[in-house]
A and B are shown apart, each in its own frame.
Chain A
Amino acid sequence: MGEVSPLVILVAAVFTNNILLANFLGMCSFLAVSKRIDTAAGLGAAVIFVTTFTTAINYGIYHHVLVPMGLTFLSYIIFITVIAAFVQFVEMFVERFSPVLYHALGIFLPLITVNCAILGVSLFMIIRNYTFMQSIAFGFGGGVGWTLAIILIAGLRQKMRYSIVPVPFKGVAIAMVITGVMAMAFMGFAGMVTIQ
């Protein structure tokens, strides 16, 4: 994958290969926090921050520690640990500089630890053999894509509070349905750029 420009990867990660709408990763926190636009945007910002930095750290650890020592099988457990530690750090950071956001995110901040979108981005980086710059672009783009998707859905769900939803579809069910529709809409971007 040496020849693809990081910029292309960034655009692809946001639109054509959206981690949430194309790969359906990070669904649990997505469904839990997509009821209001402002908290969705807050969580999205935290996810962007975490994906970007964890891909960078994981890239370093993978290529400079695990590969030379032949320990690539450790990558899953180490990626998870790195993400967990980094989320701890973000938690302290947000608490210090934005207590209102900290309280709005509540239990969802630690939830990022188990947000599979973040682990997914790190693993795709390995599978697709990205270079360092490509990884950063993919990490950042993945986060932005996830944020874009959650804000769009939050906007829809916020509007949907005033619409009449059939009783069996109320709540998460209708959220899944509109996520599916949104995913199909995103397929319209498919021809724009292609990465694997």
Chain B
Amino acid sequence: MIFFLPILVFAGILVALAVALTVAERLLVNYGICKIDINAGDRVLEVEGGQTLLSALIESKIFIPSGCGGRGSCGYCTINVVSGGGAVLPTEMPFLTRSQVRSGVRLACQVKVREDLEVRIPEELLNVQLFTATVESVRTLTHDMVETRFTLGEPAEIEQRPGQYVQLQAPSPEGPVFRAYSISSPAYETGIVELVVRLVPRGIGSTYAHGLKEGDPIVLTGPYGEFRLSEDPDAEIVCIGGGSGMAPLKNILFSVCERWPNRKCWLFFGCRSTRDVFYLDEFRELAKKNPNFRVIYALSDHDSRDGEWDGETGFIHVSVDKHLEAGDVKRQAFLCGPPPMIEAVMKVLEEKGFEEGDIFYDKF
């Protein structure tokens, strides 16, 4: 029996400490119910205190974009906190400019709800919805890219603008996280969402997306993004992309050609070699319907041993330089691809006389 005494004493002390900690947690971590006032009285939420503003808003079906799942590493979840947020924390500083700090912009994932809060959220984000959907098809495009189509369940339709993105919920060891992907299906297909995902080794979102099978249920939120296409049918649309930057361009081009069958538009797409080429047939098909649509694919590391190639070779900004005319043309450019490509293309576009406000880009 004597052997049990140390165990009993040790266990007793552990229990006592656990009880003390539980009591302390009740007293210290409990903030009661707090009110969150959105856009000066537009909506008032009552939420449990102690959690982050981001999770409180998501709980109330306001889907603030967040790529990293609330760990403070992506900087997407910026919202304006008018009062009650406390001081800006060192963890937020890398993501905020000085003028943002002055005007009260905060990272929602770092602000804790401790008292009543007043926040401002852009009207657009309030329209973001949570969709349940099922995988309709999974198509392998290249060795590391898949195209995944989802049939929306509840709600059954999405109202998106070309260039917008959704966030796909993916499981992770630390609970579900959201990862952002541009919508590649055109805006007129309201019942589905299609994504083009490149496999990133050990990436949480892309590994999940690549593992999906037909019929799997998924959850996504959206649409996000402020890009607006020019509504002027005389304005040219110039889409330039590379690598995994295809999705938003496909959406833009198919939507444009559907609405304005003769509108002038361009697609420049850069790949490494023939094994990275995809969607070329689809775009050639589209070009047959719209005589003013030009498709130019360029391979940067072309090797004749890899297979036949009848398109261009070299970096994509060289092709852009070759085909686009300089001068004062009404046009809008949308760039999506790796940063060095964007920088090279930007330089070319400026030489061609593009206004800075007419160039939109997505670097990653």
Residues of A that sit less than 8 Å from B by CB: 61, 65-66, 69, 71, 73-74, 77-78, 81-82, 85, 88-89, 92-93, 95-96, 99-100, 103-104
Evaluate contact between A103 and B13: CB separation under 8 angstroms. Answer: no
Q: Would you mind naming 14 contact pairs between A and B with Cβ atoms under 8 Å apart?
A: A65-B13, A66-B9, A69-B5, A69-B9, A74-B9, A82-B17, A85-B17, A85-B20, A88-B21, A89-B24, A92-B28, A96-B28, A100-B89, A104-B90
Pair A71/B6 contact, Cβ less than 8 Å: yes
Main secondary structure of the interface of A (DSSP, over half): helix
A96 engages B29 (CB within 8 Å) = yes
Find chain B residues with CB under 8 A from A89 CB: 20-21, 24
B25 at interface by CB-CB < 8 Å: yes
Tell me whether A81 and B28 are in contact in the complex, defined as CB-CB below 8 angstroms, given that A74-B9, A99-B112 are known contacts. Answer: no
Whole-angstrom distance between the alpha carbons of A100 and B91 in the complex? 10
- Of residues 217 through 247 on chain B, the ones whose CB sits less than 8 Å from some CB of chain A are none
Q: Which of A61, A71, A82, A92 contacts B5 (CB 8 A)?
A: A71
Closest 5 CB pairs of A and B: A85-B17, A103-B89, A92-B28, A96-B28, A89-B24
Interface size on B, residues (CB 8 A): 21
A-binding residues in B (CB < 8 A)? 5-6, 9-10, 13-14, 17-18, 20-21, 24-25, 28-29, 86-87, 89-91, 110, 112
Given A85-B20, A92-B25, A65–B10 Cβ distance below 8 Å? no
Which chain B residue lies CB-closest to A61? B13
Given contacts A99-B89, A100-B89, A103-B90, contact A81 B14 (CB under 8 A): yes
Distance of A52 Cα from B89 Cα, bound (Å): 29
Contact across chains for A77 and B24 when beta carbons are under 8 A apart:
no
Shortest CB-to-CB span from A65 to chain B, Å, is 6
Q: Which residues of B contact A74 (CB under 8 A)?
A: 6, 9-10
Distance in Å: Cβ of B20 to nearest Cβ of chain A: 7
Name the residue on A nearest B2 (C-beta). A70
Compute how far the CA of A95 lies from the CA of B24 in the bound complex, rounded to whole angstroms: 13
12 additional A-B pairs beyond A78-B13, A95-B28, A103-B89, beta carbons within 8 Å, are A61-B13, A65-B13, A74-B6, A81-B13, A82-B13, A85-B21, A89-B20, A89-B24, A99-B87, A99-B89, A100-B87, A100-B89
Contact B89 A78 (CB under 8 A): no
What are the residues of chain A within 8 A of B29 when measuring CB–CB? 92, 95-96
CB-defined contacts of B91 to chain A, threshold 8 Å: 103
Residues in chain A near residue B87, CB distance under 8 A: 99-100
